[in-house]
């Protein structure tokens, strides 16, 4: 009989409660189309979006997260996707500078929130969509491009944070932000671990991912298509789409605890759990 040991024991995984910024989808709807998921002819239910979002927020609170909220602004239906609001590391915030005009007012709105929270704000000169395309891990920042974020902003972020930025080219329109195609699971230097959809990346970028993360979880098309990779991990718990059941099994095999959430209403806008969540890695007065 052959016994296959899980590649990692659960005891190797360590949960660290996070501080996150969220935006209630009070004004959520789909009245323009800037990604393949959005269909302005398909009705949305804002009340259902709010209920699903509140469940996500309570899930985070149950994990001990400190959840901050930014006030939603009428006329900005995508503002719920807080991950796009910027990139925050320690006490420095690099603002978003959105590709599409429909979302451009969100950049100053999130930037003003960062300033009011006491962060040092660097206003982006180049187009970027915050944590949608910038994912810190270990000592580097993984950075998507191809649909939204301009590579000039990769250089700008490298200067602002003094970190190496690793460009990754996205090639599938339905996985238009890096956080739809790749999830950071363990960010600790020396323990870096990710999950991703191989087909979402150019051949050169896939080779780079395989070189940097040889033990990564490669997910199925089916799990990526329900936005399983649009996930938030505290080091142990992985908050991800309820429907990504194959990914849940892979996560368990690697010692993580998947927590499925239903955000199908927000998926009509092309977003999931991670899209609704901006990580605040440090805010003044709070160490973690």
Least separation, in Å, of the C-beta of 8 and ligand ARG?
27
144 binds ligand ARG (CB under 6 A): no
279 binds ligand ARG (CB under 6 A): no
Active-site annotation holder among 177, 193, 237, 248: 177
The sheet carrying 257-261 orders its strands as 232-233, 237-241, 257-261
Active site residue 177: yes
Q: Could you tell me how far CA 14 lies from the centroid of its own chain?
A: 20
Three-class SS state of 272:
coil
Measured from the Cβ of residue 5, the count of other Cβ atoms closer than 10 Å reads 7
177 binds ligand ARG (CB under 6 A): yes
Q: Could you tell me how far CA 137 lies from the centroid of its own chain?
A: 12
Measured from the Cβ of residue 180, the count of other Cβ atoms closer than 10 Å reads 29
The single residue among 52, 84, 149, 205 that binds ligand ARG, judged by CB under 6 A, is: 84
149 binds ligand ARG (CB under 6 A): no
Contacts 24+ apart (CB under 8 A), 109-115: 109/70, 109/73, 109/76, 109/79, 109/85, 110/70, 110/82, 110/85, 110/86, 110/278, 111/86, 113/21, 113/70, 113/85, 114/86, 114/88
Active site residue 154: no
34 binds ligand ARG (CB under 6 A): yes
81 binds ligand ARG (CB under 6 A): yes
Least separation, in Å, of the C-beta of 132 and ligand ARG?
3
The single residue among 19, 25, 35, 95 that binds ligand ARG, judged by CB under 6 A, is: 35
Least separation, in Å, of the C-beta of 201 and ligand ARG?
16
182 binds ligand ARG (CB under 6 A): no
Q: Which residues contribute to the site for ligand ARG (CB under 6 A)? A: 34-35, 38, 78, 81, 83-84, 103, 132, 177, 179-180, 269-271, 275
């Amino acid at each position: 009989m052959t016994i296959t040991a899980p590649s990692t024991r659960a005891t190797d995984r360590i949960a660290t409660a996070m501080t996150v910024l969220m935006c209630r989808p009070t004004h959520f709807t789909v009245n323009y189309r800037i990604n393949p998921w959005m269909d302005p002819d398909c009705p949305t239910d804002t009340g259902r979006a709010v209920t699903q979002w509140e469940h996500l927020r309570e899930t985070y609170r149950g994990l001990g997260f400190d959840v901050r909220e930014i006030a939603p602004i009428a006329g900005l239906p995508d503002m719920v996707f807080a991950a796009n609001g910027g990139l925050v590391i320690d006490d420095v915030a690099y603002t978003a500078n959105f590709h599409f005009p429909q979302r451009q007012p969100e950049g100053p709105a999130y930037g003003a929130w960062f300033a009011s929270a006491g962060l040092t704000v660097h206003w982006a000169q180049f187009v970027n969509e915050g944590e949608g395309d910038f994912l810190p891990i270990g000592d580097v920042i993984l950075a998507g491009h191809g649909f939204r974020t301009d590579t000039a902003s990769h250089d700008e972020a490298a200067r602002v944070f003094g970190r190496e930025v690793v460009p990754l080219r996205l090639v599938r329109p339905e996985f238009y932000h890096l956080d739809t195609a790749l999830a950071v699971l363990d960010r600790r230097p020396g323990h870096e671990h990710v999950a991703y959809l191989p087909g979402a990346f150019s051949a050169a970028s896939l080779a780079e991912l395989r070189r940097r993360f040889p033990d990564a979880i490669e997910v199925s098309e089916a799990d990526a298509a329900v936005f399983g990779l649009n996930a938030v991990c505290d080091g142990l718990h992985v908050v991800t789409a309820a429907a990504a059941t194959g990914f849940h099994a892979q996560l368990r095999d690697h010692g993580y605890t998947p927590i499925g959430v239903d955000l199908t209403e927000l998926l009509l806008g092309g977003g999931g759990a991670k899209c609704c969540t901006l990580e605040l890695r440090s805010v003044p007065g709070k160490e973690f």
